[in-house]
Amino acid sequence: MTPLGGVRVLDLTHLIAGPFCTKLLAELGTEVIKVERPGSGDGARRLGPFVKDQASQQGSIPFLYLNTGKKSVTLDLKQPEGAELFLRLVAEADAVVENFAPGVLDRLGVGYEAITERQPRVVLTSITNFGQTGPYRDTEATDLTLMAESGLLNAVGERDKPPTKIYGPFAQLCGGLHGAAATMTALFAAEVHGIGQHVDVSIQECLASQVNSHFVSLAYRDQDTHRHGNQMGLGGATVSVVQPAQDGFIQIFSRPWDVFFQAIGRPELKEDPRFEPSQRQYHIDEFEAAVVGYTIAHTKQELFLASQTQGLPWAPINAVPDLLDDPHLRERGFFVTIDHPTTGLVPYPGALFNMTGMQAIHGPSPLLGQHNGEVYGQVLGLDPDQMAALSARGVI
């Protein structure tokens, strides 16, 4: 049994934020029908890197990851016949997810008003840079500019240096995650109250919600919170920094303080006035200099295991090979193996959570238009001759 088994979602998304949203829904058992442009498909199919560094429509690594477990149909929404076919699919669906610029669906004739005429209980989730309303609604943005305008970028990096970008398309993935949660909530509301909703997800707001401590600091202390770099910024009494090890880096945590200096072989530093609770935050450099001689002499795993026996919450800074070999993730079954005609068997990160008696779905990403026959034939009842005629006209 799957958590969202029996739910059908039409996926009009492209690139990263929207596809990540629908990927999460697919893993929970939703039948996700990805609607792509005939011939070219989702623009993510042209995003590198590619399998074996050979650009191909089926070999985009971002696409392969972001679209696992979905079905693909081709459909030209700019043609009236295509828009009508889509509305016929809406009548058989529970939700639609899209991440076009605001107003695009209305111009195509398949906006919220049009789809609710066909299916009053349908949920439409729109994931955009700044939301469906407001003065920035039509503003162009990238992942980096969204992090900048949300305030998140200002919170990352060293205090006396320019802000630092978070790894990867963090803004897009954050928007997709919030979009999935919002879609599930709206589906539940539709089940309880019998009405659909238009869910408006702003990526800027998703990111701004991550800067919560800065808002609280400004409200209660009348001052902004500065960047802390690799330090956690726990008010000074506790020190948390990244230190080099023999084979990489480890995040160390100084609490409990007495145990910490005993563990690194420097018990005399417990009495050092520089490391009194009120002074610690002002002597981070000296603190790191005292610690590095110990950490650099050991591997990440040695440091991690030793810290755990002494009640110190240290953690290795894992690279991807470390994660693939991690015994904890392996025992919990976090990684799943998916077979795709382009890649063969490849490990993927699994579902975001486990549920009692529930099983996640982990199928391969679809080839472009792979499920035209199944969806148009079984869901809409079109026969092969009708599908061939639509294909000849470029509708599907």
| Per-residue model confidence as pLDDT tens digits over 296-344 | 999 999 999 999 999 999 999 999 999 999 999 999 999 999 999 999 9
* Prediction pTM value: 0.92
Residue 186: closest CA among 129, 121, 131, 132:
121
Single-letter amino acid, residue 205: E
Spatial distance between the Cα atoms of 257 and 374, rounded to a whole number of angstroms = 63
* Whether the Cβ atoms of residue 323 and residue 31 lie closer than 8 Å to each other: no
pLDDT band for position 220 (cuts 50, 70, 90): very low
| pLDDT confidence of residue 375 | 98
User: What is the C-alpha to C-alpha distance for residues 202 and 182, in angstroms, rounded to an integer?
Assistant: 11
* 350-384 pLDDT per residue, tens: 988 888 988 888 999 999 999 999 999 999 999 99
pLDDT-derived band of residue 284, with 50, 70 and 90 as boundaries? confident
Q: Please provide the size of the chain in residues.
A: 396
Tokens of 26: 């697919």
Cα–Cα distance between 377 and 73 in angstroms, integer? 11
**Cβ–Cβ under 8 Å, residues 214 and 225:** yes
Give the orientation angle of helix 143-150 with respect to helix 170-193, to 10 degrees. Answer: 80
Tokens read off for 73: 């149909």
What are the φ/ψ torsions at residue 337 (nearest 5 degrees)? -100, 125
Pairing of strands 31-36, 95-98: unpaired
Domains and CATH numbers, the chain: 8-209+331-392 (3.40.50.10540), 240-317 (3.30.1540.10)
Instruction: Quote the pLDDT of residue 189.
Output: 96
What are the angstrom distances between the C-alpha of 143 and each of 12, 16, 42, 173, 295? 20, 10, 18, 10, 35
pLDDT digits (tens, 9 = 90+) for 225-247: 666 665 554 445 567 889 999 99
Signed CA dihedral, 180, 201, 106, 123: sign only: positive
Describe the chain by its helix, strand, coil percentages, rounded to 5. Answer: 45, 15, 45
Half-sphere exposure of 376 (CA within 13 A, CB side): 26
SS3 at position 339: strand
DSSP H helices in 109-211: 112-118, 143-150, 170-193, 203-208
- pLDDT for res 374: 98
pLDDT of residue 210: 87
Distance of CA 360 to the CA centre of its chain: 17
- Residues in contact with 331: Cβ distance below 8 Å, sequence separation at least 6, in sequence order: none
pLDDT at 234: 45
Tokens of 175: 């928007």
pLDDT tens column, 161-187? 888 888 899 999 999 999 999 999 999
